[in-house]
Structure 1
């Protein structure tokens, strides 16, 4: 039996104390692509689907998360920029729950000692507690 590199994981398993969006959803820059005449680079595309890649930074609400695990990047493969839910909380960050979350373990050897790290992908996000089943995030207006 072959195990898939990327596997499905529930939001509650990855973020048992919640996840909070910090900043905007941004395009992932393709640093392997040739620079444009203006010096910019194109947006990276997902190797499997060909869709554009977007990313956001979330704060892991777990008090026991280490300093290197508090800020987590979650990526989306979508033709249109994912739109986060509206922040109706009193917090400066938007509480979010990821839909269609997958994880990919890898070895991060950028520090003094190598460690297991996680790469996350999601199909979208909703306000925590919403039961929404969709395959692609809503487009930005």
Structure 2
């Protein structure tokens, strides 16, 4: 899917949230680094804040999994920087409470490519 279809108002990366995803084995009670079954690639995840103004009063935070050979790094390193994701896929599923949910996956996290960036702060300058 196109990034702007999923995040029409963009999203901000939660600082220090890029971590290696973990799989949990019920038999051994151990966690191991997650590996994508289809590609064999390592899986990382990060938390982002959806900037959709219609989410007022609801959680804006969601997790995006990134398939990459090495841990991705924030594009600029700024706190709560605006980011975009390349090759974004959305997979619907039914969660443990019987409600529809979505899993977001991407191939990379990048600096916004001119789509819709945060408006300049009135306090800036």
- The TM-score range, normalised by the shorter chain, is 0.7 to 0.9
Number of matched residues?
A: 112
TM-score by length of 2: 0.78
Other structure's SS at 1:72 match: strand
Q: Which residue of 2 is the match for residue 71 of structure 1?
A: 61
TM-score by length of 1: 0.70
- Alpha-carbon offset, residue 87 of structure 1: 4.4
Q: Which residue of 2 is the match for residue 106 of structure 1?
A: 93
Does the 8 Å CA contact 1:108/1:116 hold for their aligned counterparts?
yes
Within 5 Å, give how 1:21-100 maps onto structure 2: 21-23=13-15, 24-32=17-25, 34=28, 41-65=31-55, 67-68=58-59, 70-87=60-77, 92-100=79-87
The ranges of structure 1 where at least 4 consecutive aligned residues each deviate by more than 4 angstroms after the TM superposition are none
Does the 8 Å CA contact 2:45/2:64 hold for their aligned counterparts?
yes
Other structure's SS at 2:18 match: strand
- Alpha-carbon offset, residue 41 of structure 1: 2.6
**Which one is further off, 52-61 or 99-108?**
99-108
Structure 2 unaligned blocks of 5 or more: 116-125
Other structure's SS at 1:50 match: coil
When the two chains are superposed, the root-mean-square deviation of aligned CA atoms in Å is: 2.1
